[in-house]
Chains A and B, each alone.
Chain A
Amino acid sequence: MSVKTPSKLEKILSEGHLAVTSECGPPRGSDPDAVKKKAELIKDYVDAVNITDNQTSVTRMSSLSACIHLKLMGVEPVLQMVTRDRNRIAIQSDILGAASFDIFNMLCLSGDHQSFGDCPQGQNVHDLDSMQLLQTVHLMRDEGKFLGGADINRPPKMFVGAAANPFADPFEIRTPRLAKKIAAGAEFIQTQCIYNLDKFEEWMKQICDRGLHEKVYILAGVTPLKSAGMAKFMKNRVPGMDVPDDVVKRMADTPKEKQPEEGINICVETIERLKSVEGVKGFHIMAIEWEEKVPGIVERAGLYPRPKIEAEN
């Protein structure tokens, strides 16, 4: 896969390194230090940091502005953008805004339904869906055009990604759905958190059988469990999440004070096992409000130090 953007993440992947990304949720307020502190904790241990976009539909500081804070401190951001809250005008406008700060990575998502968040009575937009958002970014980048057909002065240079949930239903289209995202323009994939390794490996095999692993960089998503309660919550309450009983049991059988450590052990073991799975090109570590644990996970999983590649500007 040839390099198409100045993205450091793309360069690392194209050189064959296992990439490491993580993510930070912006604060429920306007204090820039909240996001900068999180980024400071992890910046030397990851190649790029995703900034979530009003995740779980709870209103927060905008992803774009938090990405700018990271960019200004020399951290490579991945701008997450959901189609829930913006129409095609706002989407193109925000992409240009991000490009004006030389933000070079973007993750295209549809977003959780607003009924989960703090504004359940609000509208959702979904003028585009995540596939069409991928197409839009490509049109803007590769053809230098707006959706309306006009030329863009200084087109954005985004390395474009999408999410994939290997555990979601319907079963029949788990692989076709990825193929469709690749056809729409996804160049990297960050997966849903993986706890069911067997099922993930089965999915990866289907992907490799279709040769899709040669068309897209797949970063396996991992989230360290903090407690047995979190394991149960994710198993039972989070849509599209597959936490096998043996993982829940392992957490529950661990004394409460040792559970955080055990959750990290599971996370490190997961990375170790998935490193050798064909088609896995890196890891996306989502330590939810637990960013301080990311460096330890990266080190223990043998992914430190990170390759030294300077971001272009």
Chain B
Amino acid sequence: MIVAEKKPVEEIIEYVQDCRKILILGCNECVTVCEAGGKKEVGVLASTLRMYFLNQGKEVKIDEITLERQCDHEYLEEIRDVADQYDAIISLACGVGVQFMAEKYHSVPIYPGVNTCFLGATEERGLWTERCQACGNCMLGITGGICPVSRCAKRLLNGPCGGSSNGKCEISKDLDCAWQLIIDRLKALDRLDDYEKICPIKDWSTDRAGGPRKVVREDVQI
């Protein structure tokens, strides 16, 4: 899923301090799971802003809506009739949702309420970690199912750097060395000999480097 975290409320206030009518728009997908932009967080942000404006002696109407998804035209249409009433919409969706909103509703400013962080998973309640950088050319098949692109700080494709120590990365003792994990996994799979196969220079044109990407599937297009 896409993992996000809440923006500091001060930054959000900067965006909307002169508004009189604000919609806070949550999303029921990834940002709900990572507890950054679901219905609960919409409520918390709305209360915080109401408190702030009250203390400022300002009368500001703040509404709360949480959509099933913000990365889908169909669900965004649900606010078609009300969107124009607001001076600003704070979207708590990921960067995809914020942009899709902005593309659909031209006349209302849309502000992000979260920072979109990475593609990751919930390791435990309150701990999300990165697993994928969407390089567009998955190599998990040769690395024992552990991704060096997203999990090695130098995205090294042919083994650990000299900074791997006791299973940890040189940049932080809290971070596993991806190559230690890969080696452990190859060993468990009885494939340690595969380590010596040189991974050729990667084609990064399917990554961010190749420019904004699209997937076109003519077979499923209507």
Contact = CB atoms under 8 A, between A and B. Distances in A.
Interface of A: 83-84, 88, 110-113, 115-116, 124, 126-132, 135-136, 147, 163, 165, 168-170, 172-173, 176-177, 179-180, 183-184, 192, 239-240
9 contacts: A127-B204, A130-B158, A135-B200, A168-B160, A169-B180, A172-B187, A180-B159, A180-B196, A239-B162
B200 A132 contact: yes
Given A132-B201, A184-B198, A240-B164, A177 B159 contact: yes
Contacts of A83: 154
A113 B159 CA distance: 15
Contacts of B221: none
Given A113-B170, A127-B204, A132-B201, A163 B154 contact: no
A172 B183 contact: yes
A149 to B, nearest CB: 13
Contacts of A131: 157-159, 198-199
Contacts of B177: 169-170
Interface in B146-174: 153-167, 170-171
Contacts of A130: 156, 158, 161
A127 B157 CA distance: 10
Given A88-B201, A172-B187, A239-B163, A180 B158 contact: yes
B192 interface: yes
A172 B196 contact: no
A124 B201 contact: no
Interface string B169-208: 0110000010110011001000010011011110010000
A113 B157 CA distance: 15
A129 B158 CA distance: 7
A170 B201 contact: no
Interface of B: 153-167, 170-171, 177, 179-180, 183-184, 187, 192, 195-196, 198-201, 204
Nearest to B155: A126
A84 B160 contact: no
A163 B201 CA distance: 19
Nearest to B193: A176
Given A110-B156, A129-B154, A183 B198 contact: yes
9 nearest A-B pairs in the assembled complex, by CB-CB distance: A165-B162, A239-B170, A239-B163, A131-B158, A240-B162, A129-B156, A170-B183, A168-B162, A132-B201
B169 to A, nearest CB: 8
A131 B158 CA distance: 7
Given A84-B154, A131-B198, A136-B201, A170 B164 contact: yes
Contacts of A163: 162
B201 A135 contact: yes
Given A180-B195, A180-B198, A126 B166 contact: no
A130 B158 CA distance: 8
Nearest to A168: B162
